[in-house]
């Protein structure tokens, strides 16, 4: 069975992530295959739009396949991960800037790398089962794959809340926060796809969409803004300590599990991207961290605790949120010089 199914049908270029037993986790080869297809279809007059979906019932895409990154990083070889992220981030920018409509169908879990493939599309469709999240801080990373741009554009300081906690969004939250556009009941998806394939016209999406569920984040907005407006992780920590609302309680529960260094850097990245909201800027800031995360960050330990040993007891570099210094953040966020992302190159 191939990990990805790529074909032309009717007026559509059609991509299906096809690793249902692995929750359609994204491999390096899958990233390269998606990019090649988009390159082939960009100037193809027979292709009016692109459809991306995931096989199986449980997930559109649960994230990147990071087992090899862990294995190579454990040996002190960080080149594999750095090259993977270079290619993945170039794909994320290509999806965001694509000149033809890309329509993504985000059922079940859409997390991490799945956000990079699905949530930069022009038309992002969610349903009753959708669960979208950026949980990277829980494994010693930062929200990446261009996710910091979506977080930076979210209402108020929802971006800081979602990026630092990794909290899961249902369909209503995802639309409210800017990770999705349309709620279409899942039993209407097959018919909608058939219409898109036959007509090549995205107007069918509006006709199929129904009102989204009420967003919990909208109800929490004032509290989130009160607690997550700080300039640093320490400021946010102090505000959360002084607040006893439901958003604060949820945030403290989730953030207590996450890597303090990742959360401190994520705070800075989201704020920086908010000042310059371009996909290339977001990916550049993210890559500064991911390029260094194996040798200098908590990534290897985070994967060990979450994926390899599954003990859920990571030993982070910093014991507390307040322990992360400005120098620690700068060490992970300074420019990379000649090692910075090069958008035109395939590695």
Domain presence at residue 307:
yes
**At 345, is the pLDDT very low, low, confident or very high (cuts 50, 70, 90)?**
low
Given a cut of 90, whether residue 228 has pLDDT beyond it is yes
pLDDT tens digit sequence for 13-31: 999 999 999 999 999 999 9
Among 156, 92, 174, 42, which Cα is nearest to 341's? 92
Q: How many domains does the chain have?
A: 1
In a domain, 344, yes or no: no
Instruction: Tell whether 346 is covered by a domain.
Output: no
Give the domain CATH number at 58: 3.90.226.10
Q: Greatest CA span in the chain, whole angstroms?
A: 58
- 42 band by pLDDT with thresholds 50, 70 and 90: very high
Task: Name the phi and psi angles at 50, rounded to 5.
Answer: -120, 135
347 within domain boundaries = no
Q: Is residue 285 a part of any domain in this protein?
A: yes
CA atoms within 13 A on the CB side of 192: 26
Does residue 203 carry a pLDDT above 80?
A: yes
| Position 347 pLDDT exceeds 60 | no
254 occurs within a structural domain: yes
**Residue 99: predicted pLDDT:** 97
Mean pLDDT of 298-323: 92
pLDDT of 241:
87
Report the C-alpha gap between 123 and 136 in whole angstroms: 24
> Is residue 345 included in any domain, yes or no?
no
List, in order, residues 6 or more apart from 333 with CB less than 8 Å away: 265, 268, 269, 285, 288, 289
pLDDT exceeds cutoff 90 at 68: no
Tell me: the pLDDT tens digits for 237-284?
A: 999 988 789 999 999 999 999 999 999 999 999 999 999 999 999 999
**Segments forming the whole domain that contains residue 39:** 4-339
Give domain status of residue 30, yes or no. yes
């Amino acid at each position: 069975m191939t990990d990805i199914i790529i074909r032309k049908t009717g007026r559509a270029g059609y991509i299906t992530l096809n690793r249902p037993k692995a929750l359609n986790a994204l491999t390096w080869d899958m990233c390269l295959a998606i990019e090649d297809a988009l390159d082939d279809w960009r100037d193809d007059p027979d292709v009016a739009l692109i459809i991306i979906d995931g096989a199986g019932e449980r997930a559109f895409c649960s994230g990147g396949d990071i087992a090899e990154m862990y294995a190579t990083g454990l040996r002190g070889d960080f080149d594999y991960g750095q090259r993977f992220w270079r290619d993945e981030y170039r794909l994320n920018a290509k999806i965001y800037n694509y000149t033809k409509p890309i329509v993504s169908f985000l059922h079940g879990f859409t997390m991490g790398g799945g956000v990079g493939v699905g949530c930069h599309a022009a038309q992002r469709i969610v349903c009753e089962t959708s669960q979208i999240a950026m949980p990277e801080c829980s494994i010693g990373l930062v929200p990446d794959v261009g996710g910091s741009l979506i977080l930076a554009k979210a209402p108020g300081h929802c971006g800081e809340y979602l990026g630092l906690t990794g909290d899961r969004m249902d369909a209503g939250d995802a639309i409210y926060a800017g990770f999705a556009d349309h709620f279409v009941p899942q039993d209407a998806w097959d018919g909608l796809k058939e219409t898109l394939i036959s007509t090549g016209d995205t107007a069918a999406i509006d006709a199929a969409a129904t009102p989204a569920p009420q967003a919990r984040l909208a109800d929490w907005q004032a509290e989130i803004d009160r607690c997550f407006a700080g300039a640093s992780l320490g400021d946010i920590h102090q505000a959360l300590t002084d607040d006893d609302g439901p958003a604060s309680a949820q945030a403290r529960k989730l953030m207590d599990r996450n890597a303090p260094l990742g959360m401190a850097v994520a705070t800075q990245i989201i704020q920086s991207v908010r000042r310059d909201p371009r996909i290339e800027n977001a990916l550049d800031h993210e890559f500064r961290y991911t390029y260094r995360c194996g040798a200098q960050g908590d990534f290897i330990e985070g994967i060990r605790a979450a994926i390899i040993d599954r003990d859920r007891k990571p030993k982070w570099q910093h014991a507390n949120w307040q322990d992360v210094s400005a120098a620690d953040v700068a060490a992970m966020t300074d420019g990379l010089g000649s090692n910075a992302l090069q958008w035109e190159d395939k590695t």
